[in-house]
Amino acid sequence: MMSKIVVRGGRRLEGTVRVHGAKNAVLPILAASLLATEGESVICDVPLLDDVLTIRQVLQTLGAKAVIGQDSMTISAQQLTSCEAPYEWVSKMRASFLVMGPLLARLGKVRISMPGGCAIGTRPIDQHLKGFEAMGAIITTGQGFVEAAAPGRLKGAKIYLDVASVGATENIMMAAALADGTTMLENAAKEPEIVDLANYLNAMGARIRGAGTGLIRIEGVNKLVGARHNVIPDRVEAGTFLIAAAITGGDVFVEGAIADHLGPVISKLQEMGVKLTEEDTGIRVQADRALRSVDVKTLPHPGFPTDMQSQMMALLLVSEGTSVVTETVFENRFMHVDEFRKMNANIKVEGRSAIITGGVPLHGAKVTATDLRAGAALICAGLVADGETEVGGLHHVDRGYVDIAGKLAALGADIHRTADEVEVQEIVEPIVLSSLRKSAEADEVHVAAAAASEEEGYKAEEQVAVEDVEPTLA
């Protein structure tokens, strides 16, 4: 039996919840660690998510060491043994494609599976490839793979992105950090995770200016070395808890939430009548009266984040009046609408907009997370629905939330996760790692064991430098 999260609605959330490190920051940061030819990188505040375990597998497949510690990961990438990122991992998680820039810059060649589309949209990679080509890479695609070679070295270039893509900005920034000459990246994405990646790359010895604005200047350097870095708190997880608290009329302190990263979410919640107070170490959310409906349009940062759209929709379901939610970033990010309807929600979709008639009572139902944020949104709706809501499809939720049920239960929600027999039997390593999620004490024991067995593995295994390996590219 696949596990489910079971919520019984009606409890008001109260207390403090701590936000983990940001999934969307740690994934590119771990990919960027491949650029270090000397020294180790120690990445702190690493959330132990399934996506993090996936990128770790990718790094290991390429020959890097990636040892999990207590909320941290230590990466040594001095000797890479492969330039190929296989289908197995890239198909599992699109962000695996972020190793393309580092591998191309570092090794001059890469073979990587095409990430393909996913539930929320087709998600092309044309802007990533356009950037690499402008830097002199020769790219061929076929049989589900992208192969690229940069004879000599990548060259700095002026690159204009047709869409301000987060992933393309990150991939190009990482490649340009080791290129010959200066890259000017125009219409770059401005998300806080891009600033975090640039800070890490600069700590490794890169020369990047302007991250967080639409124009990023990257002066290529000859060498990057391992560095220590603390990942920023997860603004989407923080925003999810702001909404979970607000939907129950609760009073919660979201520790680690950074108001600057949550501007549009905070503004919309305030328009609705939610009280938010910025404190030194986080944000307090209080919602003690009926909420007003608002219209929301998703946009690239600093606009309203698409990753908060479904959670916001859950809150709009319980507010008075009619709201229009328009999704402009992904063409297919309304799959949660049908699931909300199972809970009695009144939503009409017209093209890229969803029209929500709020204030209709929600009823518990069996629903499925259609993507990661949809899962979080359904859990939020379950917190106020009458009766029991059973949320399945938790493999999506586990990609991006560390123990969401445990955190909500600690705030007073009536919520639990059922055991997960099939997944536990099928996935060997994540068993150890998911048990790490259970308690801080267990964490220490298992982390020590995992690290020790890994160290032994390294000793036993003969390391082969990538230069000694037959090129895998045609």
**Interacting residues with ligand PEP (CB under 6 A):** 24, 94-95, 120, 307, 372-373, 400
Q: Which residues contact 381 (CB under 8 A, 6 or more apart)?
A: 247, 314, 317, 340, 343, 345, 362, 389
**83 carries an active-site annotation:** no
Q: What distance in Å separates the CA atoms of residue 199 and residue 192, rounded to the nearest whole number?
A: 11
Q: Does 24 belong to an annotated binding site?
A: yes
Q: Which of 99, 159, 168, 394 is in the footprint of ligand UD1 by CB under 6 A?
A: 168
Nearest CB to ligand PEP, comparing residues 65 and 301: 301
Contact 358, 321 (CB under 8 A): yes
Cβ 236 to ligand PEP, closest distance in Å?
A: 6
400 binds, among ligand UD1, ligand PEP, none (CB under 5 to 8 A by kind): ligand PEP
114-145 as b/e: b if 16+ CB within 10 A: bbeeeebeebebebbbbbbebbbbebeeeeeb
Nearest CB to ligand UD1, comparing residues 103 and 384: 103
Nearest CB to ligand UD1, comparing residues 123 and 228: 123
Length of the chain: 474
Pairing of strands 353-357, 366-368: unpaired
Nearest CB to ligand UD1, comparing residues 94 and 437: 94
Residue 11 tokens read as 């409890």
Q: Does 196 belong to an annotated binding site?
A: no
Tell whether residue 24 is a contact of ligand UD1 (CB under 6 A). yes
Contact 302, 265 (CB under 8 A): no
DSSP bridge pairs for 141: 146
Q: Which of 54, 57, 127, 323 is in the footprint of ligand UD1 by CB under 6 A?
A: 127
DSSP bridge pairs for 7: 389, 415
Rule CB under 6 A: which of 39-58 touch ligand UD1?
A: none
Cβ 216 to ligand UD1, closest distance in Å?
A: 15
Cβ 331 to ligand UD1, closest distance in Å?
A: 7
Nearest CB to ligand PEP, comparing residues 121 and 273: 121
DSSP 410-446: HTT-EEEE---HHHHHH-HHHHHHHHHTT-HHHHHHH
Q: Which residues contact 292 (CB under 8 A, 6 or more apart)?
A: 271, 272, 273, 319, 320, 321
Q: Which of 6, 7, 26, 27 is in the footprint of ligand UD1 by CB under 6 A?
A: 27
Cβ 330 to ligand PEP, closest distance in Å?
A: 8
Rounded to 5°, angle at Cα 170 from 23 and 80: 85
Cβ 13 to ligand PEP, closest distance in Å?
A: 22
Starting from the edge strand earliest in sequence, which strands make up the sheet with 282-286, in order? 14-18, 251-255, 282-286, 275-279
Q: How many CA atoms lie within 13 A of 211 on its CB side?
A: 24
Cβ 11 to ligand UD1, closest distance in Å?
A: 29
Rule CB under 6 A: which of 293-312 touch ligand UD1?
A: 306-307
Cβ 212 to ligand UD1, closest distance in Å?
A: 14
Task: Write down the residue that tokens 């020959």 correspond to.
Answer: 63
Nearest CB to ligand UD1, comparing residues 107 and 168: 168
Tell whether residue 123 is a contact of ligand UD1 (CB under 6 A). yes
Q: Which of 329, 377, 383, 404 is in the footprint of ligand UD1 by CB under 6 A?
A: 329
Q: Does 366 belong to an annotated binding site?
A: no
**Total residues at the site for ligand UD1 (CB under 6 A)?**
22
Rounded to 5°, angle at Cα 88 from 417 and 466: 125
Q: Does 124 belong to an annotated binding site?
A: yes
Nearest CB to ligand UD1, comparing residues 60 and 332: 332
Tell whether residue 121 is a contact of ligand UD1 (CB under 6 A). yes
Tell whether residue 125 is a contact of ligand UD1 (CB under 6 A). yes
Q: What distance in Å separates the CA atoms of residue 147 and residue 454, rounded to the nearest whole number?
A: 31
Contact 174, 28 (CB under 8 A): yes
How crowded is residue 73: how many other Cβ atoms within 10 Å of its Cβ? 23
The residues binding ligand UD1 (CB under 6 A) are 24, 27, 94-95, 121, 123-128, 163, 165-168, 189, 193, 306-307, 329-330
Query: Among all residues, which ones are annotated catalytic?
Result: 118
Instruction: Return binding residues for UDP-N-acetyl-alpha-D-glucosamine.
Output: 94, 123-127, 307, 329
Instruction: Return binding residues.
Output: 23-24, 94, 123-127, 307, 329
Instruction: Return binding residues for phosphoenolpyruvate.
Output: 23-24
